[in-house]
Every structure is written in C-alpha cells, then in structure tokens.
Amino acid sequence: MQKLILCALCAFCFTAYTYAQNSGPPFEEMDRCGTTENDERLKAVYPGYRINRENIERFIRENQHLREVIDGITIIPVVFHVIHDGDAIGTNENLPESLILAQLDQLNDDFRRTNSDAGNTPADFTGIAADVEVEFCLAQVDPDGNPATGINRINISSLSGVDLADCWDDDYIDANIKIPTIWNSANYLNIWTVVKIQRSSNCANTILGYAQFPGGPANTDGVVLRATTVGSIANPNPNGGDFALGRTGTHEVGHYLNLIHIWGDGDCTVDDEVADTPLAGDDNTTGSPCTYPGPNSCDEGAGDLPDMFMNYMDYSDDECMNMFSNGQKTRMLLTLLFARTDLVNAPCAPECPENRVLSGTLDGTYWAGNSITTSGATTIPSTNDVILEAAGTVTLSSGFSTTGNAGLYIGFVNCASSPLTIPDSSLMHGLDAQIPEGLERLQHESRNSGRDMKKWFLQEMLRQTNDQVELPPEETRRIQRNFRNQ
C-alpha cells in the first residue's frame, strides 16, 4: 500500500474585540472562495506559474490511465498555523484544539466519503460519488525533525508589519503571514486560519477561504481559512453560521489538489475539466433545505442532469455539500502523482533518526534511532529545556551539567517491532522496564539536576499502522505513572 502524508498547518488568532471589528458582513453576503482571484494574481506576477499550470493540465489530460498508479490510501500530513492577536487558547480566532481536530475529521470524512450526510447525495449522482482515498493527519514532526503536534499558534505581534487595520487580501496574507511561518510545502499541507480575508479590488471583508493551485511559489503554497469556518458536522464552529461545518476547508483542499470550481469559473461553454460533473452556467449558492433537483443552468441534450450543487466545489452552504465525483478523484490523484510527488513520502509520525553525540550548549529536542551520548563539557543553561529521545540508550558523560532552572526530559521511544528493554543504570534509579512495541514512551523529567528526580511517566505515542492513523485524544495522551526505587 502506498501512502501519501500531507501535514497541514493552520493559523488562528484574535480577540472578542477583533471578531467584533472584523467578522465581516452577514453570512448571506459572504464569498465562498478567493482562489480564482489568487490564481489570476499569481499568473500576472509569476510568469513561470502559468507555464507550470499548463504542464500540469497537459499531464492530467494525457495520463488518465495512470490513476491506479497510486494504490491504497494516501495520507497527507497537515500543519495548522493558528494566527491570533494574543487571545487565550480556545478564545475567538485562537481556536481551541477541539475545532482544529473537528476540521481534520471533516476533511477525512469528506475525502473518504464517510461523511454523515453522504446519504443526502441524490440518486442521479450516487453512482459517481467517490471515496477519494486521501486522508489527513496532524504532522508529528516539524521541518527540523523535532516532535510536533501539527498545531502552530502564532501571535501577530511576532510578525513584522502585520496590523489588523491593514487590508488582508491574498497578496498581503501571502507576503506577511504565509512566508514567515510556512513549513516546507513539499512535505506538508500548510493551513492558516486567520480572522479575516479581504478582496484585493475593494478590501471587502467577505472571503471565507482561498488556496494555491499546484505549480505556484513554494513559499506561499497551502490553504487559508477564515477562523469561523473551522469545524465539522459533529462539532460546528459557533461563529460560522451557514459555513460552520468545515466544508470551506474541504473546498479549499480540493483546490490545493487541483480541482476547479464545478462551473469552470465561466458560463455553459466552460468546463471544470472533469467529465462526470454536469455543466453549470454559474455558481450555485443553494441553502437549506437543499432541495434537489435545483437549477439546471446548462442544457446538455440527451441525458442532461440538473446542476450538481451538492458537490464540494460549488458554492452551496455547508449543509448542502456532500460529494466529490469519480472524475474529480482521478484529477486529484494524478495531481499528487505529477505535481505534489514529495507528499507521497512525507512522514506523519516521528521516525527514529541516526545515533547522535552531543556536546556544548544544548537547547531543544534531540532524536535518535539508537542512542544519544553526550561528550565532554555539555551543559543546559538556565531557562533552557532539552528533550533527549532515543530508541536505545541515553548516556550522560561526566562533563554533563545543568544550571539554574534548566529542564531535562529523557525519553525512550520504541520504534522497533518488539518490546524495548530499558537497562538498569544510575540514571534510571534502578528502573528496569519494558516499553510495548511502537506505542509508548518512557520519560524521565528533571529540573536543576539530571540525576536526582525519580519521577517517570508513560506517555502514549501516535501509532501509525498500515491501514489507519490513530490519534489519541489530547487529554488522555499522557498517562502518568510514578516509578520510585528507594
């Protein structure tokens, strides 16, 4: 089974005052998407972008037979960059983890056709409604190889020149928010969540989200979502109105994987390059009760069907969307094969790096597949926190020291296929333990001295199997146990 892992980064931030000032017009006046506007800007600014787009389209047209080359489930690592202005986590645009996880769940449900409203697809289209066989996971490793959560919270005070009073159009967001915060776009799906997205033409605060098609600049690649759209059917965004169920995210990730609006951004003479979606003369903004048949804006003769307003790439309200088509699936998989190939091998869960020998001043996290050893004078200065994670042994030399309120966390992560035995040593305080294969971490936590504290806890790790990724709930991820050997 070949797997593709895309990691998305989403950004969320802003206070109640911020929301009051920047929430935008009533929901019925919102624009579902700014991707087309962004696409036209990139074509005007980057001549190579237009050529890249033409090459991608040519490959898809000429290689429809290659769809089956990507076999099995593709898993995409996602990092959410939550852009905020200092609000407490879970407040306003500094979205709670529960809504981020809800959005991730909705992406998985929609792309795997396990969405709870899949039964609402009309009989005319159930035969072509697709399980895209693409899934999404929170990135567990950052671009430097350190452990990560896939949620990257960024206060705008750390971003030079960013001001809430400015016009946050796609050009502004790309230059001032995306570029300073992006993770390697070849290996991660970056998702930014922001308090507002404004139109370039008049700064109208009406856009729910936008994406960058494949082929554009690497340092701005990804998806931008208005924070109020982040959620799911099971956990709607309380500030989202008609767009609270996470379908803006589904729509924009569709663009990220090269889907065009279902009406082709034109009239009945323009197509979305997908054969099994009916022609449409314009976008549909269908709302409750989502009655089918709705408009039939283009007459295609024999076998003509009404507009597919329930497709994720139309502009209907979230509750009316429920399907991708088989043709759209083919287009997305061929895009992964040609234009987003590095995502196929991008890691979702931490991998065990090489052995490491450390010396000098330490700060941050150090991983090793077998062992970590300190050599000579090695110190952790006051206020620094250091995490040493190994699948084998951690050895601290006689020259190792900590000062002040330095923190040292030593973990043993089992990356092997059999239980890992932690040997007895003075550092372990007589502990002799086994870590079950692949699932858990034994960790020693100490402050002021790396050898005095006798506190251990068992921490449940992300476990990835061949068929699925299990993400333990955040609050139950850490199971604390104390091991004491007097």
**Residues forming the active site:** 252
Residue 241 Cα distances to 26, 224, 358, 376, 485, angstroms: 9, 19, 53, 60, 56
Phi, psi of 441 (to 5 degrees): -130, 135
Retrieve residue 54's tokens. 């033409």
